[in-house]
Amino acid sequence: MKRVFIHTFGCQMNVNDTMRMSEALGSMAYTPTPTADNADLIILNTCSIREKAEDKMLSALGRYRQVKLQRGALIGVGGCVAQQEKNRILERVPYVDFVFGPDAIAKLPEIIQRVDADRVRVVETAWVDSERYVFPSADPNTSRGKATEFITVMKGCDNVCSFCVVPHTRGREVSRPFTEVLKEAASLTTVGVREVTLVGQNVNSYLGGISFAQLLLRTAQVPGIERVRFTTSHPHDLSDELIEAFRVEPKIMGHFHLPVQSGSNEVLKRMRRTYTVAEYLERLEKLRAARPDIAVTTDIIVGFPGETDADFEQTFELTEQVRYAGQFSFVYSPRPKTGAAMKEAEWGSVPHEVKIARLERLNTLQKRISVELNAASVGQTVEVLVEGSSKTDASRRFGRTSHNRTVNFDGDAPIGALALVHIEHASASALGGKQVSVESLPAIVIPEAVVAPEVCVA
Ligand code: 5AD
Ligand code: SF4
């Protein structure tokens, strides 16, 4: 039996792709190993969304070179950097054996056989036409032991946000037929999964036979599914129908990740986001009318080319006004072939120290708001889907609320159970408390010892 180590960088799409790679390699009798040191095959599943992610990938490659020298391990680079930078990788890193794009995962066994048999370097980064693209179906057994799982519902992105590399690395949008999504949800319930998150770069423009709102509602009706989530959404596709789904279906969890990117209309225009701040707020207001307690999170980029102090102040004020439950804020980094990278000289770069100062101010503000919102839960009893033991204290349990808040608590609720937890304390990132009661699990009791294959997420 040979061993494979897959180092995953980046987003949930990549984590999912890693699972599909493991499954494809299982058919070649490769078993996953949690460390590169004893691997016969090392794959880096890369991310190019920001410069930092790419730098991390290059430094990891440097470390794995040693394993190649000592054990003769094969090294492959997959994912977004591979798709966009195949030639540069092959030139700069002579010990990389093969490079493959996100559309070539199903071909992995064939690629490795070619590298092994012919001792040649293989490059496989062709796009598969939308009509011919087949979404790899997940093997439910890899999800045994989990209460919650991700289902890919679409790939690619047809938007042209000027900062974003995704359309260049993941190609055009392709939606997965809704029947396949529902089948996958049903098969996950047979191994004990009770919550699914539907994922894609831009799920609201889903076109898999029914609307995205319908897909959420139908997924919520799958017997055994208690909770449905999704990510990621573009504000201009947030339809009234989707908002209505939040009003009528309590199994759709009360959390919406709605990246705003900036609070300045001028910056949004240069970002090619196709909405104004007022339009964004109008959508949010409607959403909150449908589900008053909904927790909204967002992504923000600071230091976009041409962003003035006044532009940034508007982002700061928007954060204060919306009172996001949380936000991922990033310093802008130019990405190859994107509109903003090509226009940066014309629009004007923001100095690095200014970007960092803005990021720190925004993070401090967000932390204050998150602390305040989480503190409001103290004294309440909340429903938590138990995912396992707490990462910080193994004697405690860990799960998430409908609002996607992390809860660590004293109790004995098994994985997959819905527990009621009395909240006693709160920080910016988590709630803590004591189990009040737990439902008796009707169908499947998931054995604690069974875990999904090891995935190393950077
Ligand atoms: N620089 C900084 N952040 C970026 N993001 C996407 N591209 C860039 C970039 N070039 C951020 C956006 C997006 C999140 C996934 O990553 O905020 O929503
Ligand atoms: Fe990138 Fe914009 Fe598509 Fe999101 S919607 S993946 S930010 S191009």
Looking at CATH, the fold of the domain delimited by 140-375 is given as pyruvate-formate lyase- activating enzyme (3.80.30)
pLDDT of residue 118: 86
Chain region(s) in the chain for CATH 3.40.50.12160 = 2-124
Ligand 2 contact via 301 beta carbon (within 6 Å): no
pLDDT of residue 447: 44
Q: Which ligand is nearest to the CA of 237?
A: 2
Chain region(s) in the chain for CATH 3.80.30.20 = 140-375
Residue of 162, 150, 251 whose CA lies nearest to 203 = 150
CA of residue 157 to ligand 1 center, whole Å: 14
Ligand 2: which atom is nearest the Cα of residue 201? 6
- Has this prediction a pTM greater than 0.85? yes
Q: Which ligand is nearest to the CA of 234?
A: 2
Scanning the structure block, which residue is given the tokens 């409607």? 286
pLDDT of residue 134: 82
CA of residue 67 to ligand 1 center, whole Å: 33
Whether a cis peptide bond, with omega within 30° of 0, leads into 142 is no
What CA–CA distances, in Å, run from 46 to 7, 104, 155, 214, 216? 8, 14, 16, 33, 29
Low-confidence ranges of the chain (pLDDT < 50): 445-458
Ligand 2: which atom is nearest the Cα of residue 234? 5
Ligand 2: which atom is nearest the Cα of residue 167? 8
Q: What would be the CATH architecture of the domain defined by 381-443?
A: Beta Barrel (2.40)
pLDDT of residue 1: 85
Ligand 1 contact via 301 beta carbon (within 6 Å): yes
Please check whether residue 55 is in contact with residue 139, taking contact to mean a CB–CB distance below 8 angstroms. Answer: no
Q: Which ligand is nearest to the CA of 297?
A: 1
Residue of 124, 69, 125 whose CA lies nearest to 94 = 69
Ligand 1 contact via 231 beta carbon (within 6 Å): no
pLDDT of residue 448: 45
Ligand 1 contact via 333 beta carbon (within 6 Å): yes
pLDDT of residue 443: 52
Q: Which ligand is nearest to the CA of 340?
A: 1
pLDDT of residue 444: 54
2-124 homologous superfamily? Methylthiotransferase, N-terminal domain (3.40.50.12160)
State whether the Cα torsion 356-362-363-368 is positive or negative: positive
Ligand 1 contact via 261 beta carbon (within 6 Å): yes
